[in-house]
Amino acid sequence: MRLDGKTAIVTGAGSGFGAGIARKFAAEGAHVIVADINSDAASSIAREISGTPCTVDVANRASVQAMIDLTLQRHSQIDIVINNAGVTHLPAPMDTISEDDFDRVFAVNCKSVYLIAQAVIPHMKANKSGNILNVASTAGVSPRPNLSWYNASKGWMNTATKSMAVELAPFGIRVNALNPVAGETPLLASFMGEDTPERRAQFLSTIPIGRFSTPEDMGNAACYLCSDEASMITGVCMEVDGGRCI
């Protein structure tokens, strides 16, 4: 019960890594706001873990504010925010990616962190405590060809994490990030371009431990970084990647 009594918002919690984080946090005693743009997915995970479903578009200011308002109405406090929602563009040469795809990637992966920070940081400052965890990617640490703008968005998240951590530390707010390698999530096929045994084998050959990141891996790492056990850790971009970035 390392998160007993804490309230946590997890975006993109309807599937994949976000669902794994939501499940782990609930098991450790947190009240979880299961936030996702897919209402049915959010409701399904919320029912499973006795959490609160919330439909949100993390790239929209009004939608983000509604998520914060709902959380405060239900629980009166926000202790943890997991910025997990993310999208990618299909693998292709950087000069062929459409402007719409570029804008979507940066809106969901980067602008969302900005909007959520503006909405939740005043509350955390007032309480002189809080945890923000940004889910980035090994793509932002060791980029692959043909995912250039996705890589850049995740590199942005890592830099934002360190900057946020330095600025917010005097207010008792810790900010960290996770950098997972590709995992069994809805985005896997998009990363690979096609989901075939050959493409999976090619990806797995770059991971020394020999497997993808799992939602459980992410839940365990997120739980540690957001628990009091990590009270001296801020500004860390932890690689949960089986050695991929070595």
| Structural domains of the chain, count | 1
In the chain, how long is the greatest CA-to-CA distance?
A: 52
In the predicted structure, residue 14 carries a pLDDT above the cut 90:
yes
Give me the catalytic one of 150, 164, 234, 242. Answer: 150
**What local confidence, expressed as pLDDT, does residue 126 receive?**
98
**What local confidence, expressed as pLDDT, does residue 86 receive?**
95
Whole-number Å distance between alpha carbons of 89 and 119: 27
- C-beta separation of 108 from 56 below 8 A: no
Range of 82's domain? 7-240
202 SS3 class? helix
The number of angstroms, rounded, from the C-alpha of 135 to the middle of its chain's C-alpha atoms is 3
What mean pLDDT value characterizes the chain? 94
Q: What is the pLDDT of residues 197-245, one digit of tens each?
A: 787 788 788 899 988 889 999 999 999 999 999 999 999 999 999 999 9
Q: What is the pLDDT of residues 129-170, one digit of tens each?
A: 999 999 999 999 999 899 999 999 999 999 999 999 999 999
Decide if 246 is inside a domain: no
Q: What is the CATH number of the domain that holds 194?
A: 3.40.50.720
Whole-number Å distance between alpha carbons of 158 and 152: 10
Decide if 30 is inside a domain: yes
In the predicted structure, residue 189 carries a pLDDT above the cut 70:
no
Whole-number Å distance between alpha carbons of 79 and 70: 14
Establish whether 224 is a catalytic residue. no
